[in-house]
Structure 1
Amino acid sequence: MIEPKLMFEALKREGVELFAGVPDSLLKNFCAYVDDNAAAGEHIITANEGNAVALAAGYHMTTGKVAAVYMQNSGLGNTVNPLTSLTDPEVYKIPLLMIIGWRGEPGVKDEPQHVKQGRITAEQLDLLGVPYEVLAADSDYEAIVKRLMAKANSTQAPVALLVKKNAFASYKSQRKPDSPSELKREDALAALLDVSGDDLVVSTTGKTSREVFELRVKRGEAQRDFLTVGGMGHTSSIALGAALGNPNKRVVCIDGDGSALMHLGAMPIIGDVKPKNLVHVLLNNAAHESVGGQPTVGGRFDFAALAKASGYLHYAFASTEDEILSAWQSLPRGGGPVMLEVKITTGSRDDLGRPTSTAEENKLAFMAFAGISH
């Protein structure tokens, strides 16, 4: 395996002085090393992958240097617009190095939401005209970095490094999590399921949906929630659509800070549409918990002010199970949209499983609970 330190040093030798992107589980060891060792201003964790490409473009235009933009391949879609209409050789000709975690690589077992994306990732890069090389645990990473950076500089265009599973050796971050609360996410979710009763629940990607699924099993309840296993950043929009389609049922969106920040523009739309039956629950641990625990700006961001500015009609806050109950009781029923921000800590059970139902089975169970036959 490749030591993250050595890869970081190889990139620095080739002139990379800015790293930006959205954390990925396959890149978590490398990203953790970058976060610990990059100088001030050299590492930016962005809201989404397209932001990182645009940031790299602006940086290049004031320095002449090539930035590194990292992401999971599921976020490649967020980069399509800036790659084709901004950095492309037929437009502004702006070089950058994309470092992409290859989830769902053909022949490598992965979760269902990654299978198709993994199968088409290489073809997407070909279609976009982005030259790439594959990085594995036994690759000559220095030679690959040299070739890609030379290509980026000579063509003045984006290039990519497609990273296989287990390419990087383990690295434990020295950063101490800035947990805004001692409340565990799973305990918060249990409290939310208690108070939400027969509401329709839409839960966000990663460990949140995994814990919701296991809590239903533990409680002996049939699966009925929509577990958003893919499409990070779109949970609140899914919930908005559900609320508009079923105005007689309350819809509870269980979101995360990283997810909400990824497509923050959804909130003003929710506020403008004003679905009376939508409760937007924001679980805020100021971290990308499911892909390595890298920090978000959630710990320093004023979601209360944003909710108000976006047109939400009520905001409540909680950081304990008892506060969740009292905050929930304060929310006006039928007077939405409303936001409940719940501050939680990082971490989860070591034995946390994954949903045993398929994605389609999950969808059909949610539709049945909503009263829709299929």
Structure 2
Amino acid sequence: MKVQKFVEIIGADFYTGVPDSQLKALCNYLMNRYGIDPKHHIIAANEGNCTALAAGYHLATGRVPVVYMQNSGEGNVINPVASLLNDKVYAIPVIFIIGWRGEPGIHDEPQHLYQGEVTMKLLEDMDIATFIIGKETADDEVVQAMDAFQKVLESGKDVAFVIRKGALTDAPEVEYKNESYMIREEIIQHIVKASGEDPIVSTTGKASRELFETRVANGHSHKYDLLTVGSMGHSSSIALGVAISKPEQRIWCIDGDGAVLMHMGSMAVMGANKPKNLIHVVINNGAHETVGGMPTVAGNIDLVAIAKACGYPNAVCADCFEALDKELEAAKERNELSMIEVKCSIGARENLGRPTTTALENKQNFMAYLKTL
């Protein structure tokens, strides 16, 4: 169905969420109509953040907010749904719009398969009434579903529209760009050159895909890298776990701004533990680029200052390749935790591939390599 019609049927005037490729039509529509506007549309750090923000909106206005997200974010909303929104607690009504990645019977990437299997079960367990929208769903069916949802919402319970692949259409084109010129894939090539045979833990999305293809282009083994294909925001914690267990081996983490924001508390834990053998590289394009380019707030905050405040003994920003190479070499020479923020443009190759090894093979090869160090 047309995304504008879908929004009209819902009838809400406040949206908050974490962008999803399956919901790109909705995200582009909201960005085209509102941009980032505190009164109508906020892209938050994670799905639990969105849910609490929506609760505050309801408390202040009495109106029903909308939270949009990929189904991988259900895990982040379980706590606020169960202990904040639930009708046995504050009875706060919210409309969830959830992109259904990994839907059974639909080909998808491995990190989405189990999440896709349990998507509807998790919503049922959270006592959230659901309606599935697919390519063939008629407008009047959604109208009827929304009419039924109104009674549920009035009782202080929550509802969800679960969106199948390609179900929402006719979104306006939105151009996402920034002032940076450094291309992420080239940044990763420089990191790979500097890291040599050191292990790398890379973040969710295109960064890991580009790391994989860089290894292919260089004729390198993939054993050096753990590609965090799911679990957005947790790569630095994985890297910390590896680093404290291999204190004599230098470990690298290639992170992204959206991932850092999603679970920023990990930086405080990193700074408190100060692993001397870990180099944390945050590639910051101020965007959720992997799912379409929608903005994060990282373009307007000082990640270097945050890292220093969290206890990182070394934190710098590089906005050109000369500075990047200098800081990579300096970090290698130190025996201290280092963070390098790298300013990056938005965009990737049209023909960017995906890893040809399975996640399990990746884990086994990485673990086998770590045993040799």
TM-score, normalising length: structure 1: 0.95
String of CA shifts for 1:304-333, please: whole Å, max 9, x gaps: 110110000111221222221111122264
Q: Does 1:33 align with 2:29?
A: yes
Q: Does 1:73 align with 2:71?
A: yes
* TM superposition shift of 1:144: 4.7
Partners in 2 of 1:49 and 1:199 — Cα distance?
A: 34
Partners in 2 of 1:334 and 1:302 — Cα distance?
A: 23
1:122 paired residue among 120, 137, 157: 120
Partners in 2 of 1:263 and 1:239 — Cα distance?
A: 14
* TM superposition shift of 1:153: 2.8
String of CA shifts for 1:262-287, please: whole Å, max 9, x gaps: 00000011000110001110000000
Q: Secondary structure at the match of 1:350?
A: coil
Structure 1 contact 151–159 (Cα < 8 Å) conserved? no
Q: Does 1:157 align with 2:157?
A: yes
- Consecutive unaligned residues of structure 1, counting only runs of 5 or more, are none
1:299 to 1:145, Cα distance in 2 relative to 1, 3 A: farther
* TM superposition shift of 1:145: 5.3
- Consecutive unaligned residues of structure 2, counting only runs of 5 or more, are none
1:332 to 1:51, Cα distance in 2 relative to 1, 3 A: same
* TM superposition shift of 1:170: 4.5
String of CA shifts for 1:173-198, please: whole Å, max 9, x gaps: 43442x24111100000011000112
* TM superposition shift of 1:11: 2.3
Alignment match, 1:218: 217
Amino acid across the alignment from 2:17: G
Map 1:150-189; keep pairs closer than 5 Å.
150-177=150-177, 179-189=178-188
Q: Secondary structure at the match of 2:137?
A: coil
Structure 2 contact 182–345 (Cα < 8 Å) conserved? yes
Alignment match, 1:252: 252
Structure 2 contact 176–293 (Cα < 8 Å) conserved? no
Partners in 2 of 1:103 and 1:85 — Cα distance?
A: 26
Partners in 2 of 1:299 and 1:173 — Cα distance?
A: 22
1:155 to 1:249, Cα distance in 2 relative to 1, 3 A: same
TM-score, normalising length: structure 2: 0.95
Amino acid across the alignment from 1:90: K
Percent of paired sites with the same residue: 44
Partners in 2 of 1:329 and 1:290 — Cα distance?
A: 28
Partners in 1 of 2:148 and 2:110 — Cα distance?
A: 31
1:154 to 1:230, Cα distance in 2 relative to 1, 3 A: same
Structure 2 contact 131–145 (Cα < 8 Å) conserved? no
Q: Secondary structure at the match of 1:280?
A: strand
* TM superposition shift of 1:67: 0.4
Partners in 2 of 1:158 and 1:242 — Cα distance?
A: 40
Partners in 2 of 1:87 and 1:310 — Cα distance?
A: 31
Alignment match, 1:360: 360
Alignment match, 1:237: 237
Q: Secondary structure at the match of 2:219?
A: coil
Q: Secondary structure at the match of 1:242?
A: helix
1:88 to 1:193, Cα distance in 2 relative to 1, 3 A: same
1:69 to 1:372, Cα distance in 2 relative to 1, 3 A: farther
Structure 1 contact 21–46 (Cα < 8 Å) conserved? yes
Map 1:52-201; keep pairs closer than 5 Å.
52-141=50-139, 142-144=142-144, 146-147=146-147, 149-177=149-177, 179-201=178-200
Alignment match, 1:295: 295
* TM superposition shift of 1:36: 1.3
Partners in 1 of 2:152 and 2:45 — Cα distance?
A: 25
* TM superposition shift of 1:71: 0.4
Partners in 2 of 1:368 and 1:100 — Cα distance?
A: 38
1:18 paired residue among 2, 14, 39: 14
Partners in 1 of 2:306 and 2:254 — Cα distance?
A: 17
Amino acid across the alignment from 1:4: V
String of CA shifts for 1:175-222, please: whole Å, max 9, x gaps: 442x24111100000011000112110000000000100110111011
Q: Secondary structure at the match of 1:143?
A: helix
* TM superposition shift of 1:292: 0.8
Alignment match, 2:205: 206
Partners in 2 of 1:153 and 1:77 — Cα distance?
A: 22
* TM superposition shift of 1:334: 4.6
Q: Secondary structure at the match of 1:370?
A: helix
Partners in 2 of 1:340 and 1:87 — Cα distance?
A: 39
Partners in 2 of 1:78 and 1:261 — Cα distance?
A: 14
Give me the CA root mean square deviation: 1.5
* TM superposition shift of 1:148: 5.2
Alignment match, 2:5: 6
1:306 to 1:299, Cα distance in 2 relative to 1, 3 A: same
